[in-house]
Amino acid sequence: MFHYTVETTKSVQQVIHDLEQSLKAHKFGILWSLDLTSTLQSKGVDYTKPYHILEVCNPVKAKEVLNEADVVGYFLPCKIAVYEDGGTTKIGLPKPTVLMEMVDRPSLAPIAKEVEQALTDAIQEAK
């Protein structure tokens, strides 16, 4: 499976707040937060499901992977989606380990595994 997704009973806004705190504890920061619902609505699209995309980064890890392969920048920063689905809030991300497999650079696997573990731990703590 290419993604890691969990469910919570918390609101989307509460999850985003809690994620910010748990990500900091794992040396990640939120670089940008997109309220996709509002953005689509501002473009005249009738979309009402709460959906946010957070772009997160650990600058030290980003430098490590970029030093190995410039094309890894295509995957940066890491993305975490927080959205409502059927009355439940979901938190998910594309797995860095799966993304790095596409680069075909075995030296990236341990870094991707470390990043993925930190992000999934942060998500678990926030849920």
Q: Could you tell me the domains of the chain?
A: 3-126 (3.30.310.70)
Average pLDDT value for the chain: 97
Q: What is the pTM of this model?
A: 0.94
| Residue range 53-75, pLDDT digits in tens | 999 999 999 999 999 999 999 99
Which tokens belong to 103?
A: 């680069």
Confidence of residue 29 (pLDDT cuts 50, 70, 90): very high
Nearest Cα neighbor of 79 from 115, 43, 40 is 115
Asked whether the CA dihedral 61, 18, 74, 114 is positive or negative, the reply is positive
User: What was the pLDDT predicted at 68?
Assistant: 93
